[in-house]
Copies of this chain bind each other. A is one copy, B any other.
Amino acid sequence: MKKKNFSFELITQDDKARLGLINTSRGQIDTPSFMPVGTQGTVKGIYPEDILKTGTQIILGNTYHLLLRPGIEIIQKFNGLHKFMNWNKPILTDSGGYQIMSLSNLNKIDKNIGAIFKSHIDGKKIILSPEKSIQVQKAIDSDIIMVLDECPKLTNDKKILSNSIDVSTFWAKRSKVEFGKDNSKALFGIVQGGLYKDLRKESIDKLLEIGFDGYAMGGLAVGESQTEMFEILENSTDHLPKEKPRYLMGVGTPADILGAVSQGIDMFDCVLPTRSGRTGLAYTWEGKLNIKNSKYQNDQSPLDKTCHIRNLHKYSKSYLNHLIKSNEMMASMIISLNNIYFYQQFMSEIRKNIKSGNFSYFYKKYINYFN
């Protein structure tokens, strides 16, 4: 059977907010879309079939982590990550760039070679070239592949940022060559340039010259303020082509997502719902609740009475408060699942409100709701 081609359709806009549809060979993705993060081949504490029930249509896998452990040879034995972890819907993989900067013992960035670093697990020296990153992501059988980029830490130093655009553009070209022609997959470029609008535009122009199936905003959510992030997005999305999906990497809170959607972003990923879940923070339509708080000790209401996945509507805040205090895994399991469910409900409401032309009302109602 011929695999369905990757494609993106912009259905409608409400001001700058966009409603769209991505087609992949493993299923469609309604945008704006939120991708739960499955760093090491599992979305922490949630069975894949439950992820699916939350309305999730695509998850993210981390090339850096999977390359180090279990290693690509093992994932290849399963013909990719989907079968290895039992998730048969689309997967987007990052390129490894971000984790090399943040986690590994980085030796150096060599524009001609790639990133040279030591594994944070066993100290083993590894070289990740742009070509290698694409090969690894293809071995994972990822549906949306990211180019390897040089992702600097938050800085105002224009020289560092310019250099990162220079390196990232060169690597993006090489990634495109290595990716070759595979209509069943997508290759996304990554925009750098820090908080400078002129540098962002320069990066975008250079990526557009190469041509990608989608464009990601990199180097954001690295410590800048929300206002700074929104400003860069406002400016950058004006330069991005309407007919391609736009992905804001590593973002974020519900408010971050609302603000980014209002600037025309289509895709998001973040560890927040699962990481919060493990510390007892629940995202609900009542707001962000710290279930560890003793005021929930006697609260017999559930986090969300509409969530029937794994009977979550039957678990009271009182019970969850008890489980957290008792360090029980079940607390992480239930609250993480609740949070992913909430995020997907939230995205679904965003899409409905764009469709009906009411996004600005929805934005105003919730932009400060989860503080």
Q: Are A44 and B330 in contact (CB under 8 A)?
A: yes
Q: Are B328 and A40 in contact (CB under 8 A)?
A: yes
Q: How far is the CA of A74 from the CA of B321 in the complex (A)?
A: 11
Instruction: Point out the residues of chain B lying under 8 angstroms from A47, CB to CB.
Output: 310-311, 330, 333
Which residues of A (19-61) have their CB < 8 Å from a CB of B?
Answer: 40-42, 44-45, 47-49
Q: Are A333 and B45 in contact (CB under 8 A)?
A: yes
Give the shortest distance, in Å, between A63 (CB) and chain B (any CB).
15
Q: How far is the CA of A78 from the CA of B321 in the complex (A)?
A: 14
Q: How far is the CA of A74 from the CA of B49 in the complex (A)?
A: 33
Q: How far is the CA of A300 from the CA of B318 in the complex (A)?
A: 41
Q: Are B300 and A78 in contact (CB under 8 A)?
A: yes
Query: Looking across the interface, which residue of chain B has its beta carbon closest to that of A321?
Result: B70
Q: Is A208 an interface residue (CB 8 A)?
A: no
Which residues of A (309-342) have their CB < 8 Å from a CB of B?
Answer: 310-311, 314-316, 318-319, 321-323, 325-326, 328-330, 332-333
Q: Per a CB cutoff under 8 Å, which of B78, B297, B319, B330 touches A316? A: B78
Q: How far is the CA of A48 from the CA of B315 in the complex (A)?
A: 11
Instruction: Point out the residues of chain B lying under 8 angstroms from A325, CB to CB.
Output: 69-70
Query: Looking across the interface, which residue of chain B has its beta carbon closest to that of A314?
Result: B86
Instruction: Point out the residues of chain B lying under 8 angstroms from A84, CB to CB.
Output: 316, 318-319
Give the shortest distance, in Å, between A88 (CB) and chain B (any CB).
10
Q: Is A85 an interface residue (CB 8 A)?
A: yes
Q: How far is the CA of A78 from the CA of B320 in the complex (A)?
A: 14
Query: Looking across the interface, which residue of chain B has its beta carbon closest to that of A328?
Result: B42
Q: Are B69 and A319 in contact (CB under 8 A)?
A: no
Q: Is A301 an interface residue (CB 8 A)?
A: no
Q: How far is the CA of A48 from the CA of B333 in the complex (A)?
A: 13
Instruction: Point out the residues of chain B lying under 8 angstroms from A321, CB to CB.
Output: 70
Q: Per a CB cutoff under 8 Å, which of B45, B78, B329 touches A44? A: B329
Query: Looking across the interface, which residue of chain B has its beta carbon closest to that of A74?
Result: B318
Q: Are A70 and B322 in contact (CB under 8 A)?
A: yes
Instruction: Answer whether A77 and B333 are a contact pair too, CB < 8 Å, given A40-B328, A49-B311, A86-B314.
Output: no
Q: Is A358 an interface residue (CB 8 A)?
A: no
User: A86-B315, A329-B329 are known contacts; what are 17 more A-B pairs with Cβ within 8 Å?
Assistant: A42-B330, A45-B329, A45-B333, A47-B333, A49-B310, A69-B325, A70-B297, A74-B298, A74-B318, A74-B322, A77-B300, A78-B300, A78-B316, A84-B319, A329-B332, A329-B333, A333-B333
| Interface residues of A, Cβ cutoff 8 Å to B | 40-42, 44-45, 47-49, 65, 69-70, 74, 77-78, 84-86, 297-298, 300, 310-311, 314-316, 318-319, 321-323, 325-326, 328-330, 332-333
Nearest 9 interchain pairs by C-beta: A70-B322, A42-B330, A40-B326, A45-B329, A86-B314, A42-B328, A47-B310, A84-B319, A44-B329
23 contacts between A and B (CB under 8 A): A40-B322, A41-B319, A41-B322, A42-B323, A44-B330, A47-B310, A47-B311, A49-B310, A49-B311, A65-B326, A69-B322, A69-B325, A69-B326, A70-B321, A70-B322, A70-B325, A74-B298, A77-B298, A78-B318, A78-B319, A84-B319, A85-B319, A86-B311
